[in-house]
């Protein structure tokens, strides 16, 4: 994979389940490269099909729908900026918009809230 990318390619972030991120680091030849953050995010390991929110708290876990997209974009953008994964601006916002739209359509994005 490393051989098909330009030599001056800058890697800003590899994100995903920890074993997947390790595969990507190896594929890009970055196994021994220093990182600014290399944390395991336990939420990437959750089986969303088995996730059950306690009904006594009034939370609802469901597939996302088109009406959720503006809020999901806002949350996604805020996360990227607050976690230091991207700089604030139009590029980060477009990335989030594309990602949210793709994941909502594919049925791979869940929405949890306490509104009924």
pLDDT interval class at 23 (50, 70, 90): confident
Check pLDDT > 70 for residue 58: no
Domain extents for the chain? 1-45, 47-116
pLDDT, one tens digit per residue, over 71-104 is 999 999 998 888 888 889 999 999 999 999 988 8
Q: Give 92's contacts (C-beta < 8 A, 6+ positions apart).
A: 77, 80, 81, 86
The mean-pLDDT minimum among 59-63, 80-84, 112-116 falls in: 112-116
pLDDT tens figures, 29-47: 888 888 777 777 766 667 7
Q: What is the pTM of this model?
A: 0.53
Maximum mean pLDDT: which of 3-7, 17-21, 22-26, 96-100: 96-100
Contact 85, 76 (CB under 8 A): no
Nearest to 37 by CA among 55, 63, 11, 75: 11
100 close to 68: Cβ distance less than 8 angstroms: no
Q: What are the helix and strand counts (H, E) for the chain?
A: 3, 2
Whether residue 70 is predicted with pLDDT greater than 80 in this model: the reply is yes
State the CB neighbour count (10 A cutoff) for residue 76.
19
């Amino acid at each position: 994979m490393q051989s098909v990318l330009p030599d001056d390619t800058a890697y800003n972030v590899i994100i995903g389940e920890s074993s997947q991120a390790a595969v990507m680091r190896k594929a890009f030849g970055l196994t021994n490269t220093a990182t600014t953050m290399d944390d395991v995010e336990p939420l990437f390991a959750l089986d969303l099909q088995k996730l059950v929110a306690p009904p006594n708290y009034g939370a609802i876990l469901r597939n996302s729908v088109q009406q959720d997209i503006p809020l999901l974009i806002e949350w996604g953008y805020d996360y990227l900026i607050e976690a230091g994964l991207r700089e604030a601006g139009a590029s980060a916002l477009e990335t989030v918009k594309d990602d949210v739209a793709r994941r909502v359509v594919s049925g791979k994005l869940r929405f949890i809230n306490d509104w009924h």
